[in-house]
Amino acid sequence: MKRKLFLIAGLAGLLTLSGCTKFLEEKSQSDVIPKTATDFRELLIGSGYMTNSEPMNYLYFMDDDVDFFLEYANDPSNVVGTYDAQQNYLWYTWQPKLADINGLGILISEDPSVTTYAQYYTKILGCNAVLDNIDKSIGTQQEKDRVKAEALAVRAMYYFRLANLYGEPYNVNPKSLCVPLKLSSSIVAEPMVQATVGDVYDQVVHDLQEAASLMDPLQIVRKDFHINQPAIHILLSRVFLYMERWKESVAEANKVFEQGGKLLDMTTLDTKYGNWLNYNNVEVEWVFGGNTQPNQSTYTPSATFLSTYDATNDARYRVGFSLLTNSGVQLVSKLPTGADLAQALRSSEALLNRAEASVQLDDLGGALKDLNDLRRKRIDGYANEVIGDKATLLQAIRDERRKEFAYEGFRWFDLRRYGMPEISHRYQHDLGESVLQYKLTKNDPMYVLPFPTSVLLKNPGLKQSASGQMPDRIGQ
């Protein structure tokens, strides 16, 4: 798999420069020209699938699960005033210039190609190139259908992420401006204007549903680093949850288990198990992408968040966090490190998506069963809880989701759809200085990220978000 990534990655650059049609008309110097469905599947791995980097790996600085000011650590100097803390200060304190410079004042996005926005569109281009040409390839219809389904599903995931980075929450204002929809690999000379949040979500649903219709009749393949049928239905369940289309979210979650989705009994694991975001975990359907918290050895979970775990009996706490003995800091250890792919779609999400949607449909019994079923697989000696109040049960499910997917890129997106609540972060510029409080207010404009200036200059069809036009945020 990794060898294919490197062999095919060079083709993506050619596609970016010339478009796939022109590329197919010319013979490359190395005679590597995609002709068969298998060729295009390998091309998709190099140009469309995510590598071991993650364009939005800064998001966890912005939510309520991280703390740069470690009052419960033996030695706060491990973070306070350090290079890493200063470098990520703008994200942590929600500053309007966070897309352009880092906390040290160093320009980070002069080249638009290095921005989160451009990195996702580069992968979208790779998917588009495959989609534009797969029907003309050599191979069986089943081979073509699988490649097409993969490209559609992966492209949909990228647009879903872009919508939740640069658009308002769907359940707040689907008619607000979002990001451009580019659905072919052809070169466009004119500025690309923004589609609405609703338009982007509709395209995401369309792509995922078409992907499912193409792939569902095919054999389910697991553990090959390609997106599969259950993973596509997990994504559909998630998207419908965000759109508050509760019945459809439940229906898609059900399909995951109909297609063989399972849950891992984590209570049997010990601390040596390490991360569980890999194919050794029976509930993982797709492994992809880079680390969502690359600084897991530097930044710690907030004390408030850690207190939500049963530290004695919850296996996610036992094998997901580790105590740094020289500082007394509890660090995240659940995520893969180094060059390993570090993200996963797994059936536990389908269960929690279904539970949350079931509450909204007033199926409290079904929702409670899902919640208890998950907890039994996570908490030693767990006894089923009885929750009869709708609001209490909904909050319990959301709290479980927070613990289950901590530092995996979920929390910021979830906070947006929960109503964009107020968040406070404490920050100390250096030891001995005052501890400042920074606030993200309820419905704060920064819940929609600003576009980098370099991207705006590259595409004048974009309109800067309100968050990019705010004054600097001042700590109190």
- The structural domains of the chain, with segments of one domain joined by +, span 253-409
The residue with tokens 């796939």 is 20
Contact 180, 193 (CB under 8 A): yes
pLDDT of residue 78: 67
pLDDT of residue 299: 72
pLDDT of residue 327: 62
pLDDT of residue 362: 98
Instruction: Name residues of the chain where pLDDT drops below 50.
Output: 1-31
Question: Is 382 buried (19+), middle (13-18) or exposed (0-12) by CB count in 10 A?
Answer: middle
User: Distance between CA atoms of 155 and 225, rounded to whole angstroms?
Assistant: 16
- Which pair of tokens denotes residue 448? 């929609």
The stretches of 244-293 forming alpha helices (DSSP H) are 246-258
- Which pair of tokens denotes residue 433? 């200085």
DSSP 410: -
Please report how the helices 364-376 and 347-360 are oriented relative to each other, as an axis angle in degrees rounded to 10.
Answer: 150
User: Distance between CA atoms of 324 and 321, rounded to whole angstroms?
Assistant: 10
User: Distance between CA atoms of 261 and 25, rounded to whole angstroms?
Assistant: 43
The stretches of 181-293 forming alpha helices (DSSP H) are 197-215, 229-243, 246-258
pLDDT of residue 26: 34
- Which pair of tokens denotes residue 112? 């638009």
By DSSP bridging, strand 343-346 and strand 284-288 are antiparallel
Contact 61, 421 (CB under 8 A): no
CA geometry: angle at 283 spanning 280 and 286, to 5°?
80
Q: Which residues contact 180 (CB under 8 A, 6 or more apart)?
A: 192, 193, 194, 195, 459, 461, 462
pLDDT of residue 180: 98
What is the architecture, at CATH level 2, of domain 253-409? Alpha Horseshoe (1.25)
CA 305 to the chain's CA centroid: 20
pLDDT of residue 85: 87
Q: Largest Cα–Cα distance in the chain?
A: 69
